[in-house]
Structure 1
Amino acid sequence: MTNTIGDVEQADVILLTGSNTTENHPVLSTFVKRAVSFKGARLIVVDPRRIKMTSFAHQWLRPSLGTDVAWINGLMHVIIKEDLYDKEFVQNRTNGFAELKTMVEKFTPEYVEQITGIPAKSIIDAAKMYAGAKKAAILYCMGITQHISGTDNVKSLANLAMLCGNIGIPGGGVNPLRGQNNVQGACDMGGLPNVFTGYQPVTNADAVQKMEQAWGVTGLSAKAGLKVTEMVPKAHDGEVKALYIIGENPLVSDPDLNHAEKSFGNLEFLVVQDIFLTETAQIADVVLPSACFAEKTGTFSNTERRVQMVRKAVDAPGQAKDDWWITCEIGKRMGLDMTYENAEQIMKEIASVTPSYAGITYDRIAYEGLHWPCPDKDHPGTPILHTTQFPIGKGNFHAIDFIAPDEKIDTEYPVSLTTGRVLYQYHTGTMTRKSEGLNEKAPGSFVEVSFKDAQKYGLQHGDIVEISSRRGSIKAMAKVSTKAVSGTVFIPFHFAEAAANRLTNAALDPVSGIPEYKVCAVKLSKAA
């Protein structure tokens, strides 16, 4: 997030898209609801489903799946045409405005309506509401990123924010809501194939040299590694022969699950390190039991870039160990002396090699976290990014055209499927599905259909439905709901016994490598 969670309450307008916030980020959603209910903020929700946040919205735009670039370009078309953009910000802090203006000229409200299904008047009204605010915040989540155009979608939202000068100000910003509790921290620490900690490129000779000196090694590779979504196909083809998986359950969460299972079956060696025996751990050659959050001391970096302490509350059971200890012991057995006394010593090393974390120490975050970048021990942290300039100087507009989703509906597969989460379960259910109370609230999978589609396919609430795509089939209970839009169904992905990802499409965003979880073509039939 460029801004903080609390900062949302300072916004005059909040644009929320690709996020079922009340179910995926229930704590954060209270800030949005408070801003609207008590502080006069106006809310624009862009989502194909009638999610709970639409009941708080002043405007609800309901686009067809996978058409985000089109409606964002449509908003910018209106803002530029009506002369509502922030000319001072555009002139002083951006490049590429002319190219952007040329690109969005064709995205008239009427043209956008043809692509997205959003009425032209709604595009105009939303554009004027967003551009008319002194402070407007954009919040988004995986409904924006999990498309073959996910990177384009994010760049388009950044275009919109820069166009209206909503970067670097309280109550503004472009704010991704992270999908898991330490995704931000994992990325910060180099849990990506192309960077060291703090997003220092592995292809940068100075960064490589710095890491070699810090670790007392030579010959670090300056070549970017594989993305997760590249590893699995290569395992299928025999190019990747071993995988070491920590805290992930791809045999429920990966797209095109039937293909993923075949890929894992072709591995010569699989190691899984986790707190429970997940579906993936069950097929592993070696399982390494690790400690959960309450059983270890360290830090988490949350969605607003706040680095926070977590302290050990209870001892880990059995032979479970801290993840860092396990990693170090493997390193020692491979010939590298990875010796640390504790997590704090590791944090000191992180600060020494990571400019954005250089000023963060356990003493400083003992009672309250700090937002990176925090470049030295006297720096107060940076709650709001880009207040005076961007890291590259001026921000670049990107002229982006609309591209359709990879898979389209047809006569054989006439229904669009999107996937997501429900409030009472989390991710692949590794932890939440072991809770009796949560299982009472959300016991199993379902397919959410509109009343119109239920009639069309002869379904009633509670019927068992077979849902099939070009990749596989599952059975789930029909949930006839006002949330659904005709022609589109929703299935949560938590439930291994009816895994939505047996249906989803493994087509990837060419830049990020994220699969298109949010749209594919399926067919429905009442199960025998």
Structure 2
Amino acid sequence: MVKLTIDGIQVEAEKGTSILHAAESVGIEVPTLCYIKDLLPDGSCRMCMVEIESRGRIKMETACTAQVAEGLVVTTNSEKVRNARRNILDMLLSNHKTDCFSCPSNGDCKLQELCFEYGIERTTYSGEQTELPIDDSNKFFTYNPNLCILCHRCVNTCHKIVGRGAIDTMERGFDSAIGTPFHIDWADTNCESCGNCVQACPTGALTMKRRKNYRKYQIDKKVLTTCPHCATGCQYYLLVKDNKIVDVEAADGPSNKGLLCVKGRSGSFDFVHSGDRIKYPLIKNKETEEFERATWDEALDLVATKFLDIKKNYGTDALAGFACSRSTNEDIYMMQKLVRCGFGNNNVDNCARVWHSPSVAGLAMTLGSGAMTNTIADTTGESDLIMLVGSNPEEAHPVIGMQIRQAVQRGCKLIVVDPRDIDLAKKADVHIKLKPGTNVAFANGIMHVIIEEGLQDLDFINSRTEGYEELKEIVKDYTPERVAEICNIDPDDLRKAAIMYAKADKAPIMYCLGVTEHSTGTEGVMSMSNMAMLVGKLGREGCGVNPIRGQNNVQGACDMGA
């Protein structure tokens, strides 16, 4: 540990810690514009300048890039420091449109906030200002380069966090600007419209188009909830104005880490206030054949009476209930309770059965539980290799796709097993384009190679599994050449994938409907489990067998008995 003094406070920090982090650890806030947590510091905005005294010498450095050292004396808010920050803000305003009243980010602009704090009302540097066209081509957000301060937060977010790389810093010097390749419209790039760059922007350069309908100070409350789309389970805040949801803001949830996709940010709540939504009970008038408004008591009495009549006339099995996998556990539990206790049968189901019943059956049979063995953060953050089978997370589970791209950026190997040329296949070390419906043969071929190469984990097999000899007998005939004929793949790719997977220390299998929605879906899931058990990749970080589900509470719907 390194000891230093920050604003008169004795601080201990690990070697390699930035002064910015060390200051934050004792509650000292240092202003920043370009800094993004968990990324290497950019140091471009210079707002985090501090005074550092070491061995009798005093110098000014950026707190985000300077690291702690024994005996340093750091001052974060001296007049010299404040003057330096004022000068930085003054220069930023010299090439920045200050039409704050008409800016969608008015009241939610970090630059505006810092200018107010440091007393900068206008620039003292008169001269030329850039005048660039506004890009309004994206359906969900607008880019105004005349409000950009070149902090690179949007670029770093897109490249290093989202992993898309749709934008970059173009030109040099005074002509520098954030832009798209070859200056094409934003809508024509490989941008996913996730809006994470917009959330990262500290000014009004990038703004969601729905921000035209409200300002930050008009928000009455924020409500933490879970995105209703896929099973990633992203957390976000609903922003409520006048008892109406007007926007969302990503939360730092365990699975999304402050990220959202285009569906979560721009397509997850407008239906709440749709004019087509039924807001109260309706009962059809038999004479007019029109639905008419009714009270809740009238509607519930009618439904209960009809249910009882059907049960009396046609028997208990004439009734059934279907739960929604986007509902809460409590609602789903009450639904299955209604069916079992009220209807008197077990005719209850939910949409998870259509998609992932093979996961529940296959994983329950092989591992004892029909669920992911590891968390999303664990599979993408701790792994050395990811085997992605029958899944296109960049489209079906975009935030997981972003985290897989992050993993690849840090050096994680990627094996894609999919007949389609999904976008992640471009980043894969091996892409096995197997024939649809041949997942079991593929898995048997992988296991054949692992056993043939002596890469199986016999200690794990002997202590934690059963049926190894039977499995060995089954897969002995699935040579790479035979599997290549069945799956229509290159046998060398199969060998390479098997050896890579077996030798990796931490390697999860992640799969989706490409495995389950087959007549052999259950066997396909069981084969994935056998692959993991064969090399001891269960019960450890960054490993396991992990179905990526379709809706935000598929697991809860199954666990609640629907």
Q: TM-score, normalised by structure 2?
A: 0.34
The answer to which structure, 1 or 2, has the higher relative contact order (CA under 8 A, 6+ apart) is 1
Q: Tell me which structure has the larger Cα radius of gyration.
A: 2
Higher share in helix: 2
